[in-house]
Amino acid sequence: MKVDNKHYCSIWHAETGRSVYVIDQRWLPHRFEVKELTSIEAVEIAIREMWVRGAPLIGAAAAYGMALLALSDPASAQLEEGAAFLKASRPTAVNLAWAVDRMLALLMQKDAASRAAAAWAEAAKIAAEDVAANNTIGVHGATLLHELALRLRRPLNVLTHCNAGWLATVDWGTALAPVYKAHAQGVRLHVWVDETRPRNQGASLTAWELGHEGVPHTVIADNAGGHLMQHGMVDIAIVGCDRVTASGDVCNKIGTYLKALAAHDNGVPFYAAMPFATLDMTLDDGVREIPIEERSAREVTHITGLAADERLVEVRLTPAGSAAANFGFDVTPHRLMTGLITEKGIYPATRKALAAACAKI
C-alpha cells in the first residue's frame, strides 16, 4: 500500500539475498524508519520488541529469520535451535510458529549446502502467499461491504480494533483489505478506529495507514464502541486475528471480546478477517487453550508521543507505586462471531464450516 503515494510492503529482502528490510513500526506515525536486519538475532529482537508486529507479518519476518540463519549456520542442530528461539519470541499469533515450522520442515529435507538458497526462496514464497491471501480476503470482504452499502443506501460506518492493515501483514492487511478494496471501488465508507490501548496500534498505525490511502476515519477511545453501536453508528465491525481454533473461537488484540459483546447486544455484524495461516486446527476451546502473551507493565504505565518541540517523549500515566498488568490478547467465543472472511470465501465461525473450508483446495 502507499506511503506518501509510494508503494511499500512492510517487509522486503535485499537483492543480495543477505538481508531483509522492515519498517520500524515503533515510531509511527511520527517517524518513518526502515531498518535492515542481517541475522536471526536481529529478527528475533524486531519481533519481540515489536518493530514488526501483526500475526502475518511476524510469520513472514520469522521465515526470513530462518533464511538468514540458513546462510550463516545451516547445520541441522543450529536450525532447530534457531526455530525454537524464534518461536519463543511471541507466543499468541500462530502464524509465527506456522512459518518457522514450515521453514524447518523444508530445510531438513535438504543437504546443508543447498539450504540457504532453498530457505531464501521459501521465505519469499511465504511473503508472496500472504499478499495473495490478503488480496483475496479484500475481494470477498469488499463484496460484503458493497452489499451492505446497497442495502443501507448511505455511507457505511465500519469499526475496527488494533491494526490489521498492511503494516500487520506483508501487504493489503486482513481486516483493512476489504476497506481498501471497497473504497477503491467507490463504496462510500468511514472507519471508526479503536485507539487500542496500551500500545495504540489503532491510533498510531491504522489511522496512519488509512490517512495515506485517503480513507475517511475517526480515532475513538477504546471505550466508545458500545455507545456508538447503541446509537446505530456502526454498521459492521471487522477485526483481525492472531489465532482461530477449530471451533471458530477468535483470538485477537485485547479488547476485541468486549467489542464483540457490544456488537452482539446491538445486532451489529461482527467479522474477523482470517488468512488460513492463522487457523490452528490443533486447538478447540480458545479461552482455555490459546496462550495469551503478557507484556511489560511499562506499556500500560507509560506512553510515548510527540512533544510540542517535535521530540518523541515517554511520560508516565500512573502513580509510581501502582502495579499494572498487560494481557496482549483475548478470545472471542465463536458464538459471538458473525463470520470469518478468508481467502477461500466467507465462512461461519463453526467447526463444521472450518473443517469443510480446510478440505477445499
Of positions 23, 44, 51, 56, contacts ligand MRU by CB under 6 A: 56
> Residue 71 and residue 88: Cα distance in Å, rounded?
21
CB closer to ligand MRU, 229 vs 241: 241
CB closer to ligand MRU, 156 vs 162: 162
> Residue 196 and residue 99: Cα distance in Å, rounded?
27
Cell for 338? 458473525
336 binds ligand MRU (CB under 6 A): no
CB closer to ligand MRU, 210 vs 241: 241
Burial (CB < 10 A; 0-12, 13-18, 19+), residue 92, is buried
204 binds ligand MRU (CB under 6 A): no
Residue with cell 502513580: 319
Of positions 1, 11, 54, 183, contacts ligand MRU by CB under 6 A: 54
Of positions 241, 260, 277, 340, contacts ligand MRU by CB under 6 A: 241
Catalytic residue among 194, 222, 235, 242: 242
Q: How far is the CB of 24 from ligand MRU (least distance, A)?
A: 14
Of positions 10, 89, 201, 342, contacts ligand MRU by CB under 6 A: 201
Q: How far is the CB of 201 from ligand MRU (least distance, A)?
A: 5
Which of 6-14, 47-55, 299-307, 340-348 is the region at the interface with ligand MRU (rule: CB under 6 A)?
47-55
Which of 52-60, 98-106, 216-224, 302-310 is the region at the interface with ligand MRU (rule: CB under 6 A)?
52-60
Could you tell me if 239 and 252 are in contact, meaning their C-beta atoms sit under 8 angstroms apart? Answer: yes
Listed as own residue / partner, the contacts of 42-51 with beta carbons closer than 8 Å and 24 or more positions apart are 42/68, 43/68, 43/86, 44/85, 44/86, 44/89, 46/22, 47/86, 47/89, 47/90, 47/96, 48/89, 48/90, 50/25, 50/26, 50/199, 51/22, 51/24, 51/25, 51/26
328 binds ligand MRU (CB under 6 A): yes
Shortest-Cβ-distance residue relative to ligand MRU:
240
Q: Site mask, ligand MRU, residues 78-117, x = CB under 6 A? A: ---------------x------------------------
178 binds ligand MRU (CB under 6 A): no
Please say if 171 is a catalytic residue: no
CB closer to ligand MRU, 235 vs 242: 242
Burial (CB < 10 A; 0-12, 13-18, 19+), residue 176, is buried
Helices 176-184, 112-152: crossing angle, 10 deg rounding: 60
Of positions 22, 149, 168, 336, contacts ligand MRU by CB under 6 A: 168
Helices 94-108, 112-152: crossing angle, 10 deg rounding: 150
**Residue 306 CB contacts under 8 Å (≥ 6 apart), including other chains:** 30, 312, 313
Residue with cell 490443533: 282
Which of 51-59, 217-225, 319-327, 332-340 is the region at the interface with ligand MRU (rule: CB under 6 A)?
51-59
Could you tell me if 237 and 160 are in contact, meaning their C-beta atoms sit under 8 angstroms apart? Answer: yes
Which of 10-18, 53-61, 66-74, 210-218 is the region at the interface with ligand MRU (rule: CB under 6 A)?
53-61
Q: How far is the CB of 251 from ligand MRU (least distance, A)?
A: 8
Q: Is the dihedral of CA 141, 142, 143, 148 positive or negative?
A: positive
> Residue 320 and residue 270: Cα distance in Å, rounded?
39
How many Cβ atoms from other residues are within 10 Å of residue 310's Cβ? Answer: 8
Q: Site mask, ligand MRU, residues 138-167, x = CB under 6 A? A: ------------------------x-x---
The catalytic site residues sit at 242
* Contact set with ligand MRU (CB under 6 A): 53-56, 93, 162, 164, 168-169, 173-174, 201, 240-242, 252-253, 328
